[in-house]
Amino acid sequence: MSNPRMATKIETEAKPKRYVFVLLEDFTLLSFASALESLRIANRMVGHEAYQWRIIGEGGEEVRCSAGSVFKLDGDLGELSRDDTMMICSGVNVQKFTTKKLLGWVRREARKGIPVAGLCTAAYTLAKAGLLDDKRATIHWENHDSFSEEFPEVELTKSVFVVDGNRLTTAGGTSSLDLMLKLIAKDLGEDLANAVADQLIYS
């Protein structure tokens, strides 16, 4: 049986890319898992830690996903590094759980110039924080009409995912995997991204 690890031009000493997943209560499990698994598999394929991640949320204790399972968080909403990428993941109750505390924190950290992503319905959180003004974005189709009405300053599309500068949004479901494969290809090459997709039986 062949070794699943791939040789790449990436040096093992290269600084890992860091992702901070921000989970809102009742977040969509599929969107989160699709994003996280792609990073795990990428690390496995290259044979070293090309990606690191933390999972945080308001309160810093635990959060319940759309399937009812409870996830223990690594910490509360704290200060991020300028090298971090913030990935907010929410679900059908995004309006309820986009709190004032969360919005204030998102705005403050975004001022550092870090990339900020909204998975599934979390484009709402980004827009509510003012991070999508005059930018292209996408969101789950069920939220499309209400989002357009509330945020006319956002150029809403029906794309699977959208990258506009350092703002990234997805349309829910497995679309977060499409986004992550794009980012992996940018970081580590198309061959590695294709290998990750193959491991996930995703085409």
Strand partners, 18: 52, 84
Is residue 198 situated within a structural domain? no
- Which DSSP string corresponds to the chain? ---S----SS-TTSPPEEEEEEEPTTB-HHHHHHHHHHHHHHHHHHTS-SEEEEEE-TTSSEEEBTTS-EEE-SB-S-PPPTTEEEEEE--TTHHHH--HHHHHHHHHHHTTT--EEEETTTHHHHHHTTTTTT-EE---GGGHHHHHHH-TTSEE---SEEEETTEEEE-STTHHHHHHHHHHHHHH-HHHHHHHHHHTT--
The answer to whether 169 touches 161, Cβ cutoff 8 Å, is yes
Report which of residues 57 and 10 the model is more confident about: 57
- Residue 8 pLDDT greater than 50, yes or no: no
What pLDDT score does 1 carry?
Answer: 36
What pLDDT score does 203 carry?
Answer: 84
What pLDDT score does 5 carry?
Answer: 55
Is residue 114 situated within a structural domain? yes
The answer to whether 51 touches 19, Cβ cutoff 8 Å, is yes
Residue 63 sits in a domain of what CATH number?
A: 3.40.50.880
Is residue 181 situated within a structural domain? yes
Is residue 72 situated within a structural domain? yes
Rounded average pLDDT over 1-5:
44
Residue with tokens 């009405």: 149
Q: Please give the model's pTM, rounded to 2 decimal places.
A: 0.93
Is residue 3 situated within a structural domain? no
Q: Could you read off the pLDDT of 108-167 as tens digits, one per residue?
A: 999 999 999 999 999 999 999 999 999 999 999 999 999 999 999 999 999 999 999 999
Counting the structural domains of the chain, the total is 1
Is residue 6 situated within a structural domain? no
Is residue 180 situated within a structural domain? yes
Q: Could you read off the pLDDT of 134-149 as tens digits, one per residue?
A: 999 999 999 999 999 9
What pLDDT score does 14 carry?
Answer: 78
Is residue 7 situated within a structural domain? no
Q: Could you read off the pLDDT of 37-75 as tens digits, one per residue?
A: 999 999 999 999 999 999 999 999 999 999 999 999 999
The domain containing residue 163 runs over which residues?
17-193
